[in-house]
């Protein structure tokens, strides 16, 4: 059923800048509620950046609401436990009291979202770069074209041109640590005896700081996050310095050898962005454009998807876009701000190395059910 603008009599229209997880989620959810939606990707094709991804209860509920949960569960993995090692000794095994969680490749999740967007009739434009937006509902493209819409969604990442063209006030900071994120073959037989179906968060502080987050995505693929301080030239080098990493983690040689082959590896420092507001007139920011966060709680993508889905829900209940957007932010932002703050604190203090850090407070955002607007589990 079409969602009609009462003033013009036309179906409500949305222009979504950015075809990552947040943009795809917003586009699908709006389209399912009767909007005409155009999704803009500045690159030549839709594709996922990065390696692996964690989704918790909140993100999985979004997938259920969109109608793609089963597609994503097929080809992803829930480890028996989240285990933390410190200097090669296990210090904790966490199961989150039954809270659902899942690990997958970013490509797997992105493909499911992209397929759903096409099936729902979202108009997807590649080589379409948004360079500016206006709170009145105007959107400007790199080729000089200007369009008008009832809603503009800025889902164009931490370097958002939608955000910066409007002039949202923001604080941004970068942490001392960063990650090299890779997908490699599981190599379970070669790894030998061990609980290699678990997530294992391996921390070392002597003779230097190095960490590997070992995360199985499915039977064939393994997500590795190799953390080192940005000041560590060998630890932050890409492709990875195999000898340097094997000194600390010799038992992971079968998968680290595979990691060293990846010429496309990238070292990324943790970045946080906090804005004065996520909305202005007919413009809403979602995902990293609004609330980039450190990955300590593995909730960046989950929060982005929850907020994008919740935006469509709010617009379904409040017909006026300019009234719905601040209402949406007021309702959903405290949940995201809490997660961002804890993630930043954990990253700054390297707190996850202590084990047993997924406390009730740390999991509060993960427990949120955006489809019912309640906390579960």
Label residue 299 by pLDDT band (50, 70, 90).
Answer: very high
Domain edge (last residue) among 217, 247, 269: 269
Which of the four pLDDT bands, split at 50, 70 and 90, describes residue 369?
Answer: very high
DSSP-derived secondary structure letter, 193: S
Query: Measured between alpha carbons, how far is 106 from 52 in angstroms, rounded to an integer?
Result: 5
User: Which residues touch 123 (CB under 8 Å, ≥6 apart)?
Assistant: 36, 37, 38, 39
138 & 179 share domain: no
CATH number of the domain where residue 365 is located = 3.50.50.60
- 141 is a domain residue: yes
- In a domain, residue 155? The reply is yes
Q: pTM for this structure? A: 0.97
Q: Residue with structure tokens 């038992």?
A: 251
Reported as a single tens digit per residue, the pLDDT across 221-269 is: 999 999 999 999 999 999 999 999 999 999 999 999 999 999 999 999 9
Here the tokens at position 281 are 């007139």
Is residue 164 located within the same domain as residue 284?
yes
Cα 54 to chain centroid, rounded: 8
pLDDT exceeds 90 at position 325: yes
Give residue 132's domain range.
13-77+108-172+273-375
Residues 165 and 56 both lie in one domain: yes
Q: Does 186 share its domain with 335?
A: no
Residue 358 pLDDT: 97
Let me know if 375 is exposed, middle or buried by CB neighbors in 10 A (0-12, 13-18, 19+): middle
**Residue 355 CB neighbours (<10 A):** 19
Residue 95 lies in a domain: no
Instruction: Specify whether 167 is located in the same domain as 309.
Output: yes
pLDDT tens digit sequence for 171-224: 999 999 999 999 999 999 999 999 999 999 999 999 999 999 999 999 999 999
Residue 337 clears pLDDT 90, i.e. is over it: yes
The pLDDT value recorded for residue 88 is 96
> Three-state SS for 150?
coil
In angstroms, the Cα distances linking 300 to 34, 121, 186, 199, 289 are 28, 27, 25, 18, 11
Looking at the fold, whether 128 and 262 belong to one and the same domain comes out as no
Average pLDDT, the chain: 96
Q: How many domains does the chain have?
A: 2
């Amino acid at each position: 059923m079409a969602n009609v603008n009462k003033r013009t009599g036309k179906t409500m229209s949305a222009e979504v800048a950015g075809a990552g997880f947040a943009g795809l989620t917003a586009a699908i959810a709006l389209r399912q509620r009767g909007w005409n939606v155009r999704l803009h990707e500045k690159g030549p094709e839709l594709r996922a950046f990065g390696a692996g991804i964690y989704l918790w209860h909140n993100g999985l509920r979004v997938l259920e609401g969109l109608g793609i949960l089963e597609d994503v569960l097929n080809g992803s993995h829930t480890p028996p436990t989240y285990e933390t090692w410190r200097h090669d000794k296990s210090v904790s095994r966490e199961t989150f009291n039954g809270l659902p969680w899942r690990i997958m490749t970013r490509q797997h999740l992105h493909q499911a979202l992209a397929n759903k967007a096409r099936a729902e009739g979202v108009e997807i434009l590649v080589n379409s770069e948004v360079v500016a937006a206006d709170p009145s509902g105007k959107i400007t493209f790199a080729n000089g074209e200007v369009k008008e819409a009832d809603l503009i969604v800025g889902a164009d990442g931490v370097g958002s041109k939608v955000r910066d063209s409007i002039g949202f006030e923001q604080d941004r900071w970068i942490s001392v640590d960063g990650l090299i994120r890779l997908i490699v073959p599981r190599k379970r037989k070669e790894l030998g005896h061990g609980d290699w179906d678990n997530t294992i968060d391996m921390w070392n502080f002597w003779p230097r700081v190095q960490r590997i987050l070992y995360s199985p995505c499915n039977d064939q693929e393994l997500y590795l996050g190799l953390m080192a301080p940005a000041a560590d030239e060998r630890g932050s080098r890409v492709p990875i310095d195999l000898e340097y990493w094997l000194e600390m983690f010799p038992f992971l040689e079968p998968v680290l050898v595979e990691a060293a082959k990846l010429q496309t590896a990238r070292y990324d420092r943790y970045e946080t962005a906090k804005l004065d507001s996520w909305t202005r007139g007919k413009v809403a920011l979602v995902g990293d454009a609004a609330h980039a966060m450190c990955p300590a709680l593995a909730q960046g993508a989950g929060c982005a998807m929850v907020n994008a889905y919740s935006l469509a829900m709010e617009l379904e209940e409040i017909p006026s876009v300019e009234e719905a957007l601040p209402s949406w932010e007021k309702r959903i932002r405290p949940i995201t701000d809490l997660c961002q703050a804890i993630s930043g604190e954990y990253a700054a203090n390297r707190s996850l190395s202590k084990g047993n850090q997924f406390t009730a407070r740390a999991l509060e955002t993960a427990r949120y059910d955006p489809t019912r607007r309640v906390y579960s589990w």
